[in-house]
């Protein structure tokens, strides 16, 4: 009688990968985590954690360790290029009161829970995946300095949690072109080294114009982050120039003004920054009999949904529950997991392409007018309550505990 624990290979040590390792260990599996990067990633940039993610994190016992970087003394301002400012609702004022975090806050809490009991190999990525009725043979390539070594191991389950441009997805399901849905927007993000002149470090800023925007997110006990967004009809052209040149072209030809100029200069001088196109991942299925994709690898919602971290946690949590319910039938476990999760993810993707995108990047003058009306109405307590009632329905799905047993 085979009494060994089933083995799972989890590719990617982001939120979804670490959460999956935690839940699979609790379900009686022996996970191995591999990560392409040579070491743990830096803290990263802004994420929001809505009730879906909070409920999951609390059930997993990591919510307190994740914390909350919301600063109660913060004020968010809508600004224009001249520097004129008006108080405006901030991201933390949205219905559901999302926790304002850095991606690394969630990853660090999960890592501390997972690492003492789970093997993690850095500088390692799969190069071949061969699925059989009784297991999955995976070739793993590990790079240490200038040395590279390939090993082949068999697993009972392979989990791709390796992000938007997933290696597991490409090896098992096919090329990226079949699954990436472009939103025709570019993002640029970094952590600011210096305060924005004329504003406190704890103040949030939003400069919104048709087809482009710049957001400054303040954090408690951490320097603020900036997020640039702009629409483009030619994504490839954006990467033939330096990131800051593409940003300047996107925000031109008008004079930048003092605040936008400062943000662009800080982005250009940053030691670490992100500059990328935005895509959702849309697939007819997220699993085979022994390979499953979780998080951005399966359903990337983009930052415009505000639910990437929450669904990464919830998807992993629900996967562990499904495996516990079906200990001797892996295909059925994966099938039940996807059947429950897919309608929820569809709702989040739809919202991310619609009101989520226009909240971050007004697409036209009408969207700007709606933003100004919202700012005006929320300027007094009566209007604030009325607006919360009007928009609460659009955020209701962000409060569903989809992974609840």
pTM: predicted TM-score of the whole model, two decimal places:
0.94
Chain CA centroid to CA 402, Å: 18
Q: What is the C-alpha separation between 164 and 181, in angstroms, rounded? A: 11
pLDDT at residue 1, as a whole number? 44
Residue 379 has pLDDT above 80, yes or no: no
Q: Which ranges of 86-225 does DSSP label H, i.e. alpha helix? A: 103-114, 167-173
Structure confidence by residue, pLDDT tens digits, 42-52: 888 899 999 99
Q: What are phi and psi of 224, to 5 degrees?
A: -70, 160
Q: Which residue has the higher pLDDT, 137 or 44?
A: 137
Structure confidence by residue, pLDDT tens digits, 164-201: 999 999 999 999 999 999 999 999 999 999 999 999 99
Q: Is 297 in a helix, a strand, or coil?
A: helix
Please give the angle made by the CA atoms of 286, 175 and 300, to the nearest 5 degrees: 45
**In the predicted model, what is the mean pLDDT of the chain?**
93
Q: What is the C-alpha separation between 134 and 286, in angstroms, rounded? A: 20
Q: What is the C-alpha separation between 105 and 99, in angstroms, rounded? A: 11
Q: What is the mean pLDDT of residues 191-218?
A: 95
Q: What is the C-alpha separation between 242 and 301, in angstroms, rounded? A: 26
Structure confidence by residue, pLDDT tens digits, 259-304: 999 999 999 999 999 999 999 999 999 999 999 999 999 999 999 9
Q: What is the C-alpha separation between 372 and 395, in angstroms, rounded? A: 20
């Amino acid at each position: 009688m085979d009494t060994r624990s089933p083995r799972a290979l989890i590719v990617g040590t982001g939120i979804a990968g670490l959460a999956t390792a935690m839940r699979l260990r609790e379900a009686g599996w022996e996970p191995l985590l591999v990560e392409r990067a040579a070491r743990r990633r830096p803290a990263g940039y802004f994420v929001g954690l809505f009730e879906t993610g909070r409920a999951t994190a609390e059930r997993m016992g990591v919510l307190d360790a994740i914390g909350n970087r919301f600063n109660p003394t913060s004020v968010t301002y809508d600004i224009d290029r001249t520097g004129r400012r008006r108080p405006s609702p901030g991201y933390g004022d949205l219905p559901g009161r999302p926790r304002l975090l850095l991606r690394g806050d969630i990853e660090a809490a999960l890592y501390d829970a997972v690492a003492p009991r789970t093997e993690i190999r850095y500088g390692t990525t799969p190069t071949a995946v061969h699925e059989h009725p009784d297991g999955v043979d995976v070739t793993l390539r590990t790079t240490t300095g200038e040395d590279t070594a390939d090993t082949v191991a068999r697993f009972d389950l392979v989990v791709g949690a390796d992000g938007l441009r997933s290696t597991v997805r490409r090896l098992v399901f096919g090329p990226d072109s079949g699954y990436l849905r472009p939103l025709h927007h570019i993002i640029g993000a970094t952590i600011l080294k210096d305060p924005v002149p004329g504003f406190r470090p704890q103040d949030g800023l939003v400069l919104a114009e048709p087809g482009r925007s710049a957001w400054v997110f303040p954090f408690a006990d951490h320097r603020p982050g900036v997020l640039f967004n702009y629409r483009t009809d030619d994504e490839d052209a954006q990467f033939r120039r330096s990131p800051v040149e593409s940003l300047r072209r996107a925000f031109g030809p008008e004079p930048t003004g003092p605040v936008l100029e400062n943000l662009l200069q800080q982005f250009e001088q940053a030691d670490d920054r992100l500059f990328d196109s935005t895509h959702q991942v849309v697939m007819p299925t997220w699993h085979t009999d022994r390979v499953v994709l979780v998080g951005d690898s399966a359903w990337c919602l983009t930052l415009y949904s505000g639910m990437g971290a929450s669904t990464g946690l919830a998807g992993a949590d629900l996967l562990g529950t499904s495996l516990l319910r079906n200990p001797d039938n892996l295909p059925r476990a994966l099938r039940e997991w996807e059947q429950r999760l897919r309608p929820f993810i569809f709702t989040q993707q739809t919202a991310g392409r619609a009101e989520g995108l226009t909240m971050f990047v007004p697409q036209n003058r009408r969207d700007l007018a709606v933003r100004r009306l919202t700012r005006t109405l929320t300027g007094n307590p009566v209007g604030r309550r009325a607006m919360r009632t009007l928009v609460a329905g659009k955020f209701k799905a962000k409060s569903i505990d989809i992974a609840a047993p």
